[in-house]
Structure 1
Amino acid sequence: MSLTDSQIKRLKPTDTCTPSRPDKYSDGNNLRLWVRSTGSKVWVSDYQYETKRQSLTIGKYPAMSLADARQRNQQIKGLIAQGINPKHDKKRQQADIDGTKTFDALAQRWHDDRKAHIAPTTYSRDYSQYQRDIKPAIGYLNIEDITAPNILAIGKTVEARGATDMARRAIRQTGQIFKQAIREGLITHNPANDLTEALQPHKVKHHSRITSQQLPKLLKDIDAYGGDLLVKLGFWFMCYTFVRTQELRFMEWSEIDYKAKVWRIPANKMKMDRPHLVPLAPQVMAILERIKALGFSDQYVFFNISTRKPYSENAFITALWRMGYKGRMTGHGFRGLASTTLHEQEFMHEAIELQLAHEKENKISKAYNGAQHLPYRTDMMRQWANYIDDAYAGKIDNVIHGNFKQQAQKLS
């Protein structure tokens, strides 16, 4: 049975505890806590190396927490898998007292430098992956000792979870950190170069979404949703604007141009790292006024007062599941639905692509800036918002074959 922090804090030497025979408590996975007769508590990892059973003291409690001990225990298993005796590695690490040449020290500097220059969501994604997949495997190693097989093993481990794109990101991130080491003059080569070629090809997973004929039912289900009000209003916002979920989640009041009725998203929040303009139809402005009146946050629009930060992506995914759309609709699905419908109704392709802020560019769309076709896009977004309202009212057949297409032709 695994140990807990509260249990560990209560442990005291038993009557049978002696200087040569400490009390031993198992946390599982060959990790044990020894309680000595003096009352001190130390973590010990038991392992087998070259057919011999060995023990390694890895730290004292509470200086080394339960979570840290478990992580170090996993690192020891990783060393053994690479044919390294953990006791020898411990001696090597002790020789590098200041730790400046460990991969973790370098990685922390790299992440700290990036934090002020990239979108918060990108930083959170990359740093979380580092903590989860990269640091446990090589963070404690001297950068000069890390080899290509060490790094490829990280990618293969992630790949085994079925996360092929994430496996590539892990190797690319490791490579970027090694580039930092080269720039600092700490090493002269990058062991992560060309390793992604050894991984399985990434298969693009298309986002599930409903058809335009199923839209009225979805809108009714959103309107009847009994969960968090801001999640419900967030869905309506996505219906009207078809922005990405992460753009919606981190929307700030300061980005709204009330006079022009435009949401000006800064470059550091966009996938393509360039500013984006979202014309706001009257229906969208009404949603914003309703949220503003709630007074939840002076910074973020979709602010979760329970967690004191913007809503998580999981909040929207879970809400769709509760409405019965698991495997049928995603937040990204609103974008696909809008793109397909607007193209079917013969709205201008370039305007649709600009409004979607697609990262794929051709020779024509490369020439456009964020404000290109803005008057057209403003009218298009108003027509789209009216289409959503008509779909909710059950007039979708008339809309698809009548007024909506006529409006598109007038704009063109």
Structure 2
Amino acid sequence: MPKTAIPLNDKRIKAMKPKAKRYLVADGGGLALEVMTSGAKIWRYRYSLHSKQQPLVTIGEYPSVSLQDARDRARKYGETVSAGVSPVADAKKDRGAEKALDSVRAFADLWFESEIADKSKSYSTVTRRALDKDIYPAIGNKPLADVNAGDVLAICDKIKGRGAPQVALFTRNVVKRMYEYAISRQVATINPAQQLVARFIATPQSRTRVLSPDEVGSVMRTVYASDMSRAYKLALHLLVITMVRKSELIEAEWSEFDLDAGIWRIPASRMKKDVEHWVYLSAQAVDIIRELQTLSHSQRFLFPMRRGYEDRPIAKSTLNQAVRAMKADVQHFVIHDFRRTASTHLHEMGMSSDAIEKALAHSIKGIKGVYNRAEYADERRKILQLWASFVDAQINEGNRVIAGRFGKVAA
């Protein structure tokens, strides 16, 4: 028998947290709440017509559309379906979105409210600016299906003409993400921005490079599929999920770790700010370090040189050379981009900015900066566990990696 949905209530809804992927929670009667990765919560109606499952119908966003209002609308749509008619037209009228599928401007506004508005202020601001300044004037009134790669290229060329190639690349990415959403909602079939290769628009600057979730997964799958040593593969994985600087990792000593407590204490002498830093290790990080214990021939260093004296760690250039040699199918990134990538995605997940800065060992100015090293401990532990699990999810997205085995290729 089908599982009976437990009716939702406002307390349960408010307690729902975003995850690495959007997810649905059923209320019953076809009504479900979709929790987006941004934290937005969208009411959807699920139904079958003529024995065939139909695309989800959007009702509206919680709490603008209350639980009771959503139930009332779902009940009305159920009656429409019982009469053999799709409730899509009624749903459009109910949410005042008759034009949502007719033009780029109308659909992009819907996309922005659902996917972007709740992200970090800086990201939502620059995305809104790209829409208003460059995208809408060029293609805002065009039907979604009529936009082609040439239209997007023209927008990018115009922006590059005013000396802003990085803005051109960002604007192309805005169009690309908006069409990805349109395709997922089954209102578009082709992504015109997908056809424009990023490196032909602009080369991402290292100081602003942030890997997308897909790129994080691609890089780590390439790491584990490469012929570099197992220790170096684990080192790169640790760099991603601990958010430390490269020098802090490669010079790490066994005496700094309390794996039972899940804490790595990096002494002030090895920190950029000359202040001792604690890293609250995720379960994945602890497992990796325990594996390194079985690989290391040094009683002192996690990553000793293979030849010569045991009391010397690997050279600072070793991991960079390993990354360059593996030829990842991800353009223009360097190891330091891992820290910026983690910070950006964690901010977009709604994590505490101060806790993220502490996890990165950045100084916090003002009175909030005068805290001892244990301040934000619970939040930092939560952040690093969330980030490690998020990275795992991106790696496993390729369906070629055994979960929990850090990239060992499945037979």
TM-score (structure 2 length as normaliser): 0.44
Asked which structure has the greater RCO (Cα within 8 Å, sep 6+), the reply is 2
Larger radius of gyration: 1
